[in-house]
Chain A
Amino acid sequence: MVYALVGWLSFRRHSAYLAASIGATVSNTFFGFLRAYILIAVWKYKPDLGGYDVLDAITFSFLTQALIGPVQIFGGLDLAQRVRTGDVAIDLHRPADLQAWWLADDLGRAAHAFLSRGFAPLAAGWLVFGIVLPGPAQGAAFLLSLLLAVLVGFGMRYLVALAVFWIHDARGVEAIIRSCALFLSGMLMPLVAFPGAVGAVVQALPWAALIQVPADVYLGKRQGWDLLAAYAFQAGWALALLLLGRALTRAAHRRLVIQGG
């Protein structure tokens, strides 16, 4: 099937840049330590804040650094550049669905990012702090949650990329979305530490499905029915964003004017 092939080739393409993966991993791991020290200061004073203990908070720092690659929280979609340059005309001409094509491409990228960049931050955290490592069942539950997180991440980045059909340049929107995403996903501070109503709101937004929910599943904070609720939350946002993406794709088709001969 063509989409499986697109995904596989995307995986292969990303594997070609080994040095880039190593560079990114070094950086991700280093930031894991800095974030861990900050959370330690908070959780030492309040050892059960948000249902986390100190070790959970440290684990959260390293785990979420490992998630940066797969959910691509800092990045956009290459599609945005293709819309800007007009190369998207070629994509639209293919006998394949634009959204499914790019989703397959992004899943290949995410799989590679997880395998190449996911383990080093966790290993470093385990060596220095002895962070929580999940058992097989917990690990499998986490992988499903991670897959849903990647779908939500793709859903959002696809919308931003399509916005270029109307605004001609995505860099500004990407910058604003990135700043908000870092804060609202829990990358700066776990959402469980947000106070009262603010905490409830941020935990209901789609960004929570990117980082906070997979981390909670990894830490075993969501079990039984609660685990299903976590999946449903992520899947719901993924579906909503992907459907919105479909509607926007149709609108973009009508919007597209191909210049030149």
Chain B
Amino acid sequence: MVSTWLLLARTWTRAALQYPATLAMLSAGVVISTSLDLLTIVIVFLHVPRFGGFEPAGVMYLYGGAHIAFALSNVLIGSADRLGEHIRTGNFDTMLIRPVHPLVQLATEDFSPRKVARLVPSCLVLGWGISRLDLSPGDLLLTALMIVNGTVLFCALWVLAAAAQFVLLDAAQATHVITWGGEFTVQYPMSLYAREFLYAVTFVVPLAFVNWQPSLYVLGVPDPLGLPGFVRFLGPVATALLCLVAAAAWRTGLRHYRSTGS
């Protein structure tokens, strides 16, 4: 499966390289988009000394961690949420008769080095945040684990979004709420949001475990929901549960898939 993924990703990369100017501009677009995001945060800090209770370094640590995890998941499997479109056009039937797992085909589709470009500004931001924070080696190790866990969690969300599209079809854009919406949600300190929303992203769609809960521990900030200390380390558990749900949803969707029929 891994070798197939690499083979298909390489194929799509070669396809993307056929339009070098477009590829350069798409990559630039990604970098510009992140930079303007950051500029927005800078504008916020022109007006407020603390954002969601955090100083700039803490906010950038949260932003960087969130974006690296999301960018990695987007590289690995981010195009899976095009499933609805493929079902509508009938392309998915073609994917199913090929001797490669349909999820691998979906995940690598339109793979392009521009997705890797997302990592550059995110890593710089995280680096800047860390340089200002005075973290211990243990904290750094925890940061690395947090990113790995966040990446897997986002991958599960992509699969879940794809699985939902077996049912939603044309309404596929609604699944952006958990994927792109998830990225938007976790890039800022979650203390900004209403309590009900915080409960929802902790216990229903466990976005809080991408970076928020572990970061609370690393940055030494109390949890606004007052959840006990061990919750900071429940990330892998939440991720494992979400993976099980995503896998079950994907299998159920695939089993009940009956083409478009027109």
Contacts and interface: CB of A to CB of B under 8 A. Distances in A.
B170 to A, nearest CB: 4
Tell me what chain A mostly uses at the interface: helix, strand, loop, or mixed.
helix
Contacts of B51: 41
A155 to B, nearest CB: 21
Interface string B146-189: 00000000000000000000001111111111001100110010
B43 A176 contact: no
Given A27-B173, A45-B47, A169-B19, A178 B29 contact: yes
Interface in B1-42: 19, 21-26, 28-30, 32-33, 36-37, 39-40
B193 A37 contact: yes
Interface string A189-202: 10001110000000
B227 interface: no
A173 B24 CA distance: 10
Given A26-B177, A42-B47, A182 B36 contact: yes
B157 to A, nearest CB: 14
B201 to A, nearest CB: 11
Interface stretch (A1-9, A15-23, A91-99, A246-254): A15-23
B47 A193 contact: yes
Interface residues of B, number: 42
Contacts of A176: 25, 28-29, 32
Contacts of A183: 36, 39-40
A51 B28 CA distance: 35
Interface of B: 19, 21-26, 28-30, 32-33, 36-37, 39-40, 43-44, 46-48, 51-52, 168-177, 180-181, 184-185, 188, 192-194, 197
Kindly list the 10 A-B residue pairs having the minimum CB-CB distance in the complex, ordered from nearest: A172-B25, A175-B29, A23-B171, A19-B170, A23-B173, A179-B33, A172-B22, A183-B36, A23-B174, A19-B171
